[in-house]
Amino acid sequence: MIPNESESARRNTVIGAILDHVRSNVTIALPAFDRTSSRPSDAFALQSIGSEPNDFGGTIGPFRYQFEGEEDLLHLFVMRSDGMSLSVEEAQEVASFVLSGVPPALIWLRPGEYSQHLYVAHDDLLEYLSDPQA
């Protein structure tokens, strides 16, 4: 998986915003649901999360990612943009791109079929991620 220039720039913007929020102890919230931008799946929950424009999501190739803060963990949703199923390995490749520098052993995985959910501690982000905006 090789990101294009736009995908890399978006990743840097997203990670910069996340690091700013973590340092300031501000919750990273999901975007407000917008019926004109997003439509829930008839069959599966969470597939449309993050399809609204927001500060904490982006794409790489056929995949879409979205971050949300939860207590002391950062939750990373990974889905396919076309709504099809994706493998754990595909989600791990996306996580490797967006969480570059964070050791894979520190990323907890909760697998699914149409969305994969990965978690990392906020403290680990500050230790291992470099601020692309700095």
Region 8-16 average pLDDT: 96
Q: Is the dihedral of CA 123, 90, 51, 44 positive or negative?
A: negative
Give 41-44's long-range contacts (Cβ < 8 A, gap of 24+): 41/83, 41/114, 44/113, 44/114, 44/115
Q: Which pLDDT tens digit goes with each residue over 69-90? A: 988 899 999 999 888 999 999 9
| Mean pLDDT for the chain overall | 86
Region 106-117 average pLDDT: 94
CA pair distance 15, 21, nearest whole angstrom: 10
pTM of the model: 0.86
Q: Has residue 59 got a pLDDT over 50?
A: yes
Listed range (7-11, 44-48, 71-75, 130-134) with the worst mean pLDDT: 44-48
Would you place residue 41 in the very low, low, confident or very high pLDDT band (cuts 50, 70, 90)? low
CA pair distance 110, 78, nearest whole angstrom: 11
Residue 50: predicted pLDDT? 52
Q: Identify the burial level of 36 via C-beta atoms within 10 angstroms of its C-beta, where 0-12 means exposed, 13-18 middle and 19 or more buried.
A: exposed
Residue 40: predicted pLDDT? 53
CA pair distance 132, 87, nearest whole angstrom: 28
Q: Has residue 17 got a pLDDT over 80?
A: yes
Residue 45: predicted pLDDT? 47
Q: Has residue 44 got a pLDDT over 80?
A: no
